[in-house]
A = this chain, B = another copy of it.
Amino acid sequence: MYDIDATHDPKRKSWVESANAAGHDFPIQNLPFGRFRRAGSADAWRIGVAIGDQVLDLRAAGVASTDDMNVLMAAPPSQRSALRATISNGLAEGSAQQAAWSKALVPQAQCEFTVPCRVGDYTDFYTGIHHATTIGKLFRPDQPLMPNYKWVPIGYHGRASSIIVSGQDFKRPKGQTKAPDAAEPSFGPSKRLDYELELGFYVGQANELGEPVGIDDAEAHLFGVGLFNDWSARDLQAWEYQPLGPFLAKNFASTVSPWIVTMEALAPFRAPFTRPEGDPQPLPYLDGAANREQGQLDITLEVYLQTAKMRAAGQAPHRLTHGRVAEAAYWTAAQLLAHHTVNGCNLQPGDLLGSGTLSGPTLDAAGSLMELTLGGKQAIELPNGEKRTFLEDGDTLALRGWCQRDGAVRIGFGEASATVLA
């Protein structure tokens, strides 16, 4: 439903020179949205669009009349596309806006960022079938996938207040845990702190309570996509999660990237939606011609770990994981949104839908340490000889993502990074 148009033209360059560097995350074909202010100031947050190593201040440039990202997100797709065209044209080489808009640029290095919108409600899904299978095996070797998995896009509600932006560090959570052979639980810091590699889908247009969104209209209700790390305390989770699901194991922090890459920017980067032979046909409310045609998002995701020791020695972060969303996800974002609303639940602009951990079919594409270390049984070794089963204090974990294919300019998601504090 999001068309490829002149804003995606690979020949288009920007008068912001840094945006034209090969392999840069933020060329003129991307134009992701975020909220920023001058670092160290107490100014109100403003809406910006990333272009190269700069931020375009949308109100200063005269293209937005609001500083409220959620208001901007609520606009219908036609208005959003028009806004994208205006920004793209104004930033393009030879634009008449160059002189005026130059004054509306702020170097990203001089900015601080916040969560890109007010997240009213956050829902986490479980669309990574390889993740669900591997984790399921650890608990239920005979039945890794629950009988509902291939029918129901499994999801649960998460905590909105503890969503933090990349760069904001957080304390290792404390809580109850119980060793399998212990008679009673004990209390203390989590010893099995993990990350989860996810995408976050941001809702744009709302639906009213009691009014489901049809599968083929669902993608039009999405504003865009960011990186999402659903930090998880596995030992807290194991003891608390029956019978109502994860709670304190998750709600101490979840990290998002500062930038929302719009659905429009992602239009050239789609992959077929396929399912293994013999899998059930989705029920009609999850199946539609547009959903099949749109398919999956074709995004490559990576996870990097830098320990305190590596940082002190000036060693670069080490890549733990590298995989493709289209190989990891069992459901499309449109299916998640249609499912979420089918009972009448109302979604609002700025609501966040986590994809669930996007692990690929092979171990080098596993989206959590729980998987990479076989449930904590087999430590991974880092290039400097350090070993990890779970995260230690001082570890910095970063998610990255990007889209690339022939005939299109590569676009990137920036980074979702945080350091674990004691």
Contacts and interface: CB of A to CB of B under 8 A. Distances in A.
A347 interface: yes
Interface stretch (A13-21, A25-33, A239-247, A393-401): A239-247
Interface in A273-290: 280, 283-285
Interface majority SS (helix, strand, loop, mixed), chain A: loop
A339 B174 CA distance: 10
Counting chain A residues whose Cβ lies within 8 A of the other chain, the interface size class is 35 or more
Contacts of A209: 161-162, 164, 170, 252-253
A244 B175 contact: no
A107 interface: no
B159 A121 contact: yes
Interface string A250-293: 01110000000000000000000000000010011100000000
A178 B173 CA distance: 38
Nearest to A160: B121
A151 B252 contact: no
Interface in A186-224: 187, 209-210, 212
Interface string A119-157: 011010010000000001001000000101001101111
Nearest to A249: B343
A145 to B, nearest CB: 10
A406 interface: no
A382 interface: no
A175 B283 CA distance: 10
A184 B245 contact: no
9 contacts: A148-B240, A151-B184, A152-B176, A155-B247, A161-B347, A236-B343, A241-B245, A248-B339, A248-B340
A89 interface: no
A157 B187 contact: no
A173 B340 CA distance: 12
A185 interface: yes
| Residue of A155, A157, A162 ringed by the most chain B CB atoms within 10 A | A157
A332 interface: no
A240 B345 CA distance: 15
A184 to B, nearest CB: 7
